[in-house]
Amino acid sequence: MTGKTNRSQISRYKKIISISNDLASTLDLDILLKRIVEAAVELTNAEAASILLYDERLERLYFQTASQYDDPLLRGLDVPVEGSIAGWIVKNRQPIIIHDAKKDDRLYQQIGKSLGLLTKSLLGVPLIAKDKVSGVLEAINKRQGRFSSEDQESLMTLGAQAAVAIENSRLFQQFDLISEFVHELRTPLASLRTATHLLTHPEISDEKREQLARNIQRETMRLAEMSSDFLSVARLESGRSQFQLDEFDLRELLNECFQLIIDQAEESGLFCNVEIPADLPRFTGDCDKLKQAVLNLLSNAIKYTPAGGKVLLEAEAGPEEISIAIHDTGIGIPAKYLDRLFSKFFRAPGSERMAQGTGLGLSIVKRIIEGHGGRIEVESEVGVGTSFTIHLTVK
């Protein structure tokens, strides 16, 4: 019996070493978290596994991902620290095995219901790195028998490695984003420094002084927009931006977006139209975030379309998905830049002649749409125009 046990332990250790190497091979947080829950299922022979992340500063615990049941709209869903099993693990920094979950008053059932997963048994461990709890890793429903001390030991070992990998991924993301942000700050700050220096010269004309004041106002607004967009990207990338799910009238939302931009479009000398079918179905998602995404695309269409051009907002519904398209007859985007269009801070060369921007808007749009389980496509031709199409799955 001892020989069989030793072979089993050696097999587990080999798996853990292999998993550790796998976790160290990526700094993409989404990919990393998915690999962790898949490894947890394999090591403990569980039906599923999930990760909840903890924000120590805000004392907030939120769902991030689950194996086989991952729903992007659940990311960021709050789980109470007080009165939940995961909260107990965070506060006590200790693992826990629960053989009969339905008898435990701390079981938070909202996520399980949303995922269609009934929790019967549970093994949970804290994710601790640099003496800080960054979250909780849970294995749910042992396939055969009960969760054992060996399962707990394996999950604790995985959790320790996962916590370090998550911390490294977050630091890399923050460093990468901050580096890009600081780089982008240089241009508006240089403009502000020059303008304020020139304003101290008593000999400049009133006309020049007024022009400099306008420059300062424009660059200040640009910095404010950049800061707001930067925070939006940081929240979306970290999973801390919670999606508020409600069923709403999508047709009403799109018409509202159109009304909000029509004055801006007409002032720019553009012809605008909206074509939305009366029977467009209601949709369940985050109304405010989808509104942000659509308005961003409409605003871009207006910015990069010369006077006399056209902008069209249209939508249609199929049996499995709803598509929302924004077409313009603007300057277009060279084909070689289309693959980079949704990258943070990227702006196609030459676009700055038409309008200033942060280069973060389309990155935010993509995150919002993918957070709803959808996708966004772009087609463009220089001198002809651009079309962005959002595809949302009907559930």
Over residues 197-254, the pLDDT tens digits come to: 888 888 888 888 888 888 888 788 878 877 887 777 777 776 666 778 889 999 999 9
Q: Which of 52-61, 69-78, 138-147, 257-266 has the lowest mean pLDDT?
A: 69-78
For residue 61, give every residue at least 6 positions away whose Cβ sits within 8 Å of its Cβ, in sequence order, or none: 52, 53, 54, 55, 78, 79, 80, 81, 84, 86, 87, 90, 135, 136
Question: Is the model's pLDDT at 127 over the cut of 90?
Answer: yes
Label residue 7 by pLDDT band (50, 70, 90): low
Over residues 158-167, the pLDDT tens digits come to: 999 889 888 8
Over residues 310-335, the pLDDT tens digits come to: 999 999 998 889 999 999 999 999 99
Label residue 111 by pLDDT band (50, 70, 90): confident
230: left (phi over 0), alpha (psi -120 to 50) or beta: alpha
Question: Is the model's pLDDT at 96 over the cut of 90?
Answer: yes
Residue among 66, 62, 18 at smallest CA distance from 41: 66
Structure tokens at 329: 């007859």
Nearest-10 crossing angle of helices 206-238, 361-371: 30
Label residue 70 by pLDDT band (50, 70, 90): low
Looking at the domain that runs over 243-395, which CATH code has it been given? 3.30.565.10
For residue 149, give every residue at least 6 positions away whose Cβ sits within 8 Å of its Cβ, in sequence order, or none: none
Q: What is the mean pLDDT of the chain?
A: 86
> What separation in angstroms does the CA of 114 have from each of 108, 141, 269?
12, 17, 47
- Domain ranges, ordered by start, for the chain: 2-169, 243-395
Which pLDDT value is given to residue 1? 47
Structure tokens at 83: 């009165």
Instruction: Give this prediction's pTM.
Output: 0.66
For residue 47, give every residue at least 6 positions away whose Cβ sits within 8 Å of its Cβ, in sequence order, or none: 41, 117, 140, 141, 142, 143
Residue 84 CA neighbour count, 13 Å, CB half: 21
* H-assigned helices in 239-275: 250-267
- Quick one: three-class SS letters along 275-300? ECCCCCCCEEECHHHHHHHHHHHHHH
CA-CA-CA-CA torsion sign (210, 216, 222, 224): negative
Residue 88 CA to residue 125 CA, distance in Å, equals 10
Q: Which of 39-43, 68-72, 303-307, 344-348 has the lowest mean pLDDT?
A: 68-72
More confident residue, 211 or 184: 211
Label residue 3 by pLDDT band (50, 70, 90): low
Residue 51 phi, psi dihedral angles, 5° rounding: -125, 130
Residue 95 CA to residue 69 CA, distance in Å, equals 23
145: left (phi over 0), alpha (psi -120 to 50) or beta: left
Domain 2-169 has CATH 3.10.580.10: no
Which pLDDT value is given to residue 355? 60
